Structure 1
Amino acid sequence: MARWTFQGHGGEIAARSWPVPRARYVAVLCHGYGEHIGRYERVAATLNDHGAAVYGHDHVGHGESAGERVLIADFEPVVENLHLLVKQAIEQNPDLPVVLIGHSMGGMIAARYAQEHADELAAVVLSGPVLGRWDVVGELLAQDPIPPTPIDPATLSRDPAVGSAYAEDPLVWHGDFRRPTLQAISEMLTTINAAGSVGELPLLYLHGEADELVPIGPSLEGLEAIRGPRTESRTYPGLRHEIFNETTKDEVLADVTAFVDRVLAAAPGSAVPELADAPTE
């Protein structure tokens, strides 16, 4: 795993990559609100085993990146920070297809990215994405001052170890929502709904049916606004918000890699892809 920084909106952006020999595609991870890309080590390892060179970064105001904590007044520059990372990944892996994987707020960012930069992507995967509407945003904006809003670790996964690690992680934000961030989320959802379909870009939507943090109903409504002819969806009974950290995470990640295999196999001139060699230490 390699670490570096690049100059983005709001200052220095902390990035990571997990390379493999003879990668067959690039996977770019886009994390959610209040967390950081370091929480995706296991996801990156699974994708490495599947033949992906993996990239990710901490959003402005998150993790090890610059900026006031969890303060995002406009998400369009955050999308452009992601664009800078994708361009670096493409430069380092020329001619390889790129799959964008976004979780929660990162799913919202990835959806907007797919609307604006679909030509750079082979596919996009959305995990428990903030789409359509997020009712808690309107409820909190209606209050002055905004009440305490720390995320309950128990809403993340049925695995108590996930919640404990989250609660003890010093790079995770454990404080309250910022009003400008809530307003920016609301505005971005309006923008995504208005911009419409991702067109022919293959999209896989995944969501836990017991997600209390980003309820599935409004998110599925948002999916209909961006759905294209190659959009697929799967929901998981009993799973909470972080489906990549759930007790059945292997099943969920297998759905992701199977989707990627279908996309790569369907690409013009492609044969059924073979797995890359296992990554070396």
Structure 2
Amino acid sequence: MQYLEEFLSTPDGHDIPIRLWRPRSTRHILIIAHGMAEYCERYAPLAEWLTESDIAVIALNHRGHGMDCDDAKLGYFADHRGWTRVVDDLHQAVCFAKAQIPDCPITLLGHSMGSFIGQSYLQAYGDSVSQVIFSASNRVDRPKLLISQALIAVIAALKGRRATSGLVDFLSFGQFNRPFRPNRTASDWLSRDAEQVDAYIDDPYCGFSCSLGLWQDFIGGMLTLQPAGWPSTVPIHLLSGGADPVGEFGRGIERFAGQLRRAERRLVSYKLYPEARHEIINETNADEVWEDIRALVLHGRLSDAPEHSN
């Protein structure tokens, strides 16, 4: 296996950190878009394992994330058009993949915030990937998002876009943890695996407070999502924990699947892992999840015959 670290220059002067895990013989490519307040190197164990099946893995760190980000910019996208720039960065990563390893099918895996970036990517760049996997995603709850947008706008007007807000943190991640009381940590909602939770807490590049500007960009980007505007030919797969508060404990995923069907998008499969929480690739049933991801990349189907499969 070859491991490569690269930086891609963007039109606005940003350098996108790219990580490539490449097997000696490549049949497929998986591109990973990570979640909020984490970074792409956390996916290295999965990437290295996938290379054993001739799958090359490319991951990028979103703006405001990762070890290459200046501390002053951690948790901040950009002064202008932050969401669009993050989506465009992902497109540069896709173009990089095609240039490095031509003529291989590309699967896009977006986790949590990365799943919404992936949805925007489908809207902006159509069928430039072969299929998508949305991990730990959810439906777009417009009334709730509009209320959050208004609240954050007021706080940002007072504190500035680069500032953080304890109230916003409490109303997001703090609320995610409440269903798991009594809590051992503030991040119990991530996984049932205590070692994984502790590693996340001990990592300075995980769990940081994101800026009000990032929240504004994120919510604004989510409000633009319209599945009817996605290509109808690209296969979509949904994977989520049945106890993931981001996915409303499965209810949001069920509704999201219904939205995709009504929009006549190509929802091929979705799977809820019972009792699993938010970070399904770091859960106590990670072996099952990894096998499913590998099967989806290689064959476009899950590794078993799940109840929720089309």
TM-score range, shorter chain: 0.7 to 0.9
Range 76-85 or range 223-232, more displaced: 223-232
Range 12-21 or range 62-71, more displaced: 62-71
Query: 1:105 maps to which residue?
Result: 113
1:184, distance to aligned residue in structure 2 (A): 1.8
1:114, distance to aligned residue in structure 2 (A): 2.2
Contact 1:70-1:173 within 8 A present in 2 as well: no
Whole-angstrom distance in 2 between the partners of 1:38 and 1:103: 14
RMSD, aligned α-carbons: 2.5
1:65, distance to aligned residue in structure 2 (A): 4.2
Contact 1:204-1:231 within 8 A present in 2 as well: yes
Higher helix content, 1 or 2: 2
Whole-angstrom distance in 1 between the partners of 2:146 and 2:46: 28
Query: 1:34 maps to which residue?
Result: 37
- The answer to whether structure 1 residue 217 and structure 2 residue 251 are counterparts is yes
| TM-score where L is the length of structure 2 | 0.77
Query: 2:283 maps to which residue?
Result: 246
Contact 1:196-1:226 within 8 A present in 2 as well: no
Describe the SS at the equivalent of 1:119: coil
Contact 1:204-1:233 within 8 A present in 2 as well: yes
Whole-angstrom distance in 2 between the partners of 1:159 and 1:48: 25
Contact 1:131-1:189 within 8 A present in 2 as well: no
Query: 2:304 maps to which residue?
Result: none
1:131, distance to aligned residue in structure 2 (A): 3.8
Which structure has more relative contact order (CA 8 Å, sep 6+)? It is 1
Deviations 1:175-229 (A, max 9, x none): 2x42222222222122113654441111110111111244243354344444513
Deviations 1:141-160 (A, max 9, x none): 52664434174321110000
- The answer to whether structure 1 residue 192 and structure 2 residue 225 are counterparts is yes
Structure 1 unaligned blocks of 5 or more: 265-281
Describe the SS at the equivalent of 2:252: helix
Change (3 A) 1:232 1:115: farther
- The answer to whether structure 1 residue 258 and structure 2 residue 284 are counterparts is no
Structure 2 unaligned blocks of 5 or more: 156-164, 174-185, 302-310
Query: 1:162 maps to which residue?
Result: 196
Amino acid in structure 2 at the alignment position of 1:157? S
Number of corresponding residues: 263
